[in-house]
Structure 1
Amino acid sequence: MNLTNCPCGSGTAFNQCCQPYHLKVKAAPTAEALMRSRYSAFVVADADYLYETTHISKRKNHSKSAYLNSAKNTRWLKLEIVFSDFDIVEFKAYYLSKKFQTEVLHEKSNFRLADGKWYYVDGEFYE
């Protein structure tokens, strides 16, 4: 997929921002960078990356096919980082509903650093 601006909202070109993480050229250096790259992976429907960046203890709850289905059936609009700390990222991900209304997924996500790589563990959703 040829994207000019990275879907994560960094203002940087996709090939200079999240794509190198997706291609395993480099690893996301922070929990926030991983969060942004996972959002971009949803936008470009990269289920392999989503699965591989989910902590191994949680993978049984997240199959590649489920990630792919979610990514392909959602029209993501933008990502907003509300708060970011060492291993916690609170974000709002805006998407278009089936009724063509803008909806918001608001989550506080937990990440874990293991063997020099960041992984998504789980999250708490807000109304």
Structure 2
Amino acid sequence: MNSFNNDPNKKKRSVLANTVHHGVRVGTVEKLGQILLKEGQITQSQLNEALEIQKKHGGRLGRILISLGYVEDETIADCLRRQSAYALVKISERQIDEKIIDILPYNLAKEYMAVPLEVSDGSLMIAMADPTNRYALEDI
């Protein structure tokens, strides 16, 4: 027997599944490296170095720039927020109702580093480490 069928939160999630808003802007989106370069956060040589590492080893440009010590994670988060329609949320500053927490199964919350924050007008607001992860959004 599928344990999902016995999940008491299944109905809540299925109702909310159709109301997840992906938040990515449609149209031309300026690349992260170009935003950082334009704002003077990094130099062209730093961007080139990070892009070369990305080309050889893969990974996300923002994480590479942080690991090289060229930018802080807050700088990357702010650029990514402006690049998309997502808001930057500090969950440590929010009061989260336990009933909301129970909407998202622990295994999904852990896997995608996601925390349900609130339900408003039938939509679920979720804080995620990577809100651009479409697979996570589909699973959730």
TM-score when scaled to structure 1?
A: 0.27
Q: Higher helix fraction: Structure 1 or Structure 2?
A: 2
TM-score when scaled to structure 2?
A: 0.25
Q: Higher strand fraction: Structure 1 or Structure 2?
A: 1
Higher RCO structure (Cα 8 Å, ≥6 apart): 2
Report which of the two structures shows the higher radius of gyration computed on alpha carbons.
2
